[in-house]
Chain A
């Protein structure tokens, strides 16, 4: 079974729409860490957020927000008022003790923002 599932392979929206990227994870550990990274068309990987399992507060950074819900094992990412520059592949990743804290990556969601 996949430990990090990003069920949305590709999402396409029109600029200024809000969009949510889903991430569902699986772990038996009580201490774990979750990450989101962005990979724009240029190819580099850009760190967006790191969250530990004890901090369930939602996070907002400008137009970006993250909703961490342990009850549903989800760590979803919302972009408000999307812009063309948000077009990228977004990866969710998990770090847990059972996997010796090596990063386990989801397959990524390709987000296309149309002008």
Chain B
């Protein structure tokens, strides 16, 4: 039982390049989330998916797109990377549908992204 997995673990991009961060969970959870964590700050929600087939913006969605491919997988895409997107990205999932923070969220190991 791997929980939440993320690929890649590390990535370096040049400004303007695109990439997709992958996330998968094997806990049969309904809701999934993407966060970013910047130094000295708590996590900020980028997008979430309250159930399979739905996605919604979080606090900081600009510059990102997401796809809930199926119940297990939720990807985050940077179409044209900018240095301001240098951060650690975490994927999370929770059991209850609705994307509500009332339910415990379980996190992946994170992706450390640097944009030069």
Give the tally of cross-chain contacts (CB within 8 A). Answer: 58
Complex interface: stretch among B21-29, B64-72, B79-87, B105-113? B105-113
B115 interface residue (CB < 8 Å to A): no
Q: How far is the CA of A48 from the CA of B106 in the complex (A)?
A: 11
Binary interface profile of B, 20-64, with partner A (CB < 8 Å = 1, else 0)? 000000000000000000001111110010000000001100000
By the criterion CB–CB under 8 Å, are B109 and A107 in contact? Answer: no
Q: How far is the CA of A37 from the CA of B105 in the complex (A)?
A: 10
Q: How far is the CA of A44 from the CA of B99 in the complex (A)?
A: 21
Closest to A50 in B: B104
By the criterion CB–CB under 8 Å, are A47 and B102 in contact? Answer: no
B58 to chain A, nearest CB (A): 6
User: How many residues of chain B are within 8 Å of chain A by beta carbon?
Assistant: 24
Closest to B9 in A: A43
By the criterion CB–CB under 8 Å, are B90 and A45 in contact? Answer: yes
Q: How far is the CA of A107 from the CA of B58 in the complex (A)?
A: 18
Q: How far is the CA of A112 from the CA of B57 in the complex (A)?
A: 36
By the criterion CB–CB under 8 Å, are B102 and A45 in contact? Answer: no
B13 interface residue (CB < 8 Å to A): no
For chain A residues 5-40, which have a beta carbon within 8 Å of chain B?
33, 35, 37
By the criterion CB–CB under 8 Å, are A103 and B109 in contact? Answer: no
Q: How far is the CA of A50 from the CA of B90 in the complex (A)?
A: 19
B77 interface residue (CB < 8 Å to A): no
Q: Which residues of A contact B112 (CB under 8 A)?
A: 43
B78 interface residue (CB < 8 Å to A): no
By the criterion CB–CB under 8 Å, are B42 and A35 in contact? Answer: no
A77 interface residue (CB < 8 Å to B): no
Q: Please give the residue numbers on chain A whose beta carbons come within 8 Å of chain B beta carbons, in ascending order.
A: 4, 33, 35, 37, 43-47, 50, 52, 91, 93, 95, 101-108
Q: Please give the residue numbers on chain B whose beta carbons come within 8 Å of chain A beta carbons, in ascending order.
A: 40-45, 48, 58-59, 88, 90, 92, 99-102, 104-110, 112
